[in-house]
Amino acid sequence: MKLSVIIPVYNVEHTLDRCVESVLGQDVSDMEVILVDDGSTDSCGQMCDDWAERDRRVSVIHQQNLGLSAARNTGLDVAVGEYITFVDSDDYLMPETYPGLIDMMDGNQDMDMVEFGMMHENDRRLPVELHDCVYRSAREYWLGTMGWNHAYACNKIFRAGLFAESRFTAGRLFEDVLLLPDLLHRVGSVATSGRVGYVYCDSPGGISSVVSVASLSQLLRAELHALVSMRTMPWQRNALNLYRAICCRVYDIVRVGVLGIKL
């Protein structure tokens, strides 16, 4: 199996079909799509089963509601692809996103991760804009692209071996920021592509839309973990950006928690 696509699903009956169609529409025949129904209370469970009946590439796991990280980990536990990627079920892919990136990794056995551009459907936030480039080390990638600013799992394809001893931290927000530095410690080279392939869609009430002292604190801890894990020093190229972000996070916590200002 060439590619495993893991899609956690929770109460997204209005966007699930769009997401799955965009993944199955990629020109990758040797692919499995793992739908992890994370205890949905709407029609998503049945929709997942319907997709599995319609397309042999789709498999479904139903579990009690454990959260996004746990659902991704469930998918990782059963994935058999040489490469692994993730898609959130309220988002979708642009056509022809995966094939060229897979060819790139097939042609370089030292390349353990490739990242591609991301856009926001409503254009209210800056997209992830990248250039075609190959970085010969994780540190070169981390500093050169300011990787902490786009430490998402969904706009990357990973060589499956990176997850042999790593999983997302269940029950934590900003789990991508926590995990990426650990994966980077095991990569050979990293490639970035200027192709914009992932479309992020704002979900009202979604976990990333809730601004509270608790969520800000978890983001702060994740950023501190990234700083320490990647040994990011302020005098290194672009590294002050991460230090400024951490300072801003502390300021936001004070504004929300002490001054009662809504962000």
pLDDT of residue 202: 80
* More confident of the two residues 84 and 258: 84
d(CA 229, CA 150): 16
DSSP string, 54-116: H-TTEEEEEE----HHHHHHHHHHH---SEEEE--TT-EE-TT-HHHHHHHHHT-TTEEEEEE
Alpha helices in the chain (DSSP H): 16-24, 44-54, 68-78, 98-106, 138-144, 175-184, 213-229, 240-257
DSSP state for residue 128 in the 8-state scheme: B
- Tell me the residue type at 115: E
pLDDT of residue 239: 95
Instruction: Convert 222-252 to b/e letters by CB count within 10 Å (16 or more is b).
Output: bbebbbeebebeeeeeebeebeebbeebeeb
The mean pLDDT value for 73-81 works out to: 98
pLDDT of residue 221: 93
d(CA 171, CA 182): 18
Question: What would the CATH number be for the domain defined by 3-208?
Answer: 3.90.550.10
d(CA 136, CA 150): 19
d(CA 129, CA 117): 5
| Residue 216 dihedral angles phi and psi, to the nearest 5° | -65, -35
> Over 90: is that where the pLDDT of 210 sits?
no
Q: With the C-alpha atoms ordered 75, 79, 81, 83, is the resulting torsion angle positive or negative?
A: positive
pLDDT of residue 257: 75
pLDDT of residue 211: 73
DSSP state for residue 162 in the 8-state scheme: G
* More confident of the two residues 166 and 124: 166
**pTM more than 0.95:** no
For the chain, give every domain's residue range: 3-208, 211-257
The mean pLDDT value for 146-161 works out to: 96
Which residue bears the tokens 């009946």? 53
Q: How confident is the model at residue 65 (pLDDT cuts 50, 70, 90)?
A: very high
- Residue 53 exposed, middle or buried by CB count within 10 Å (0-12, 13-18, 19+): exposed
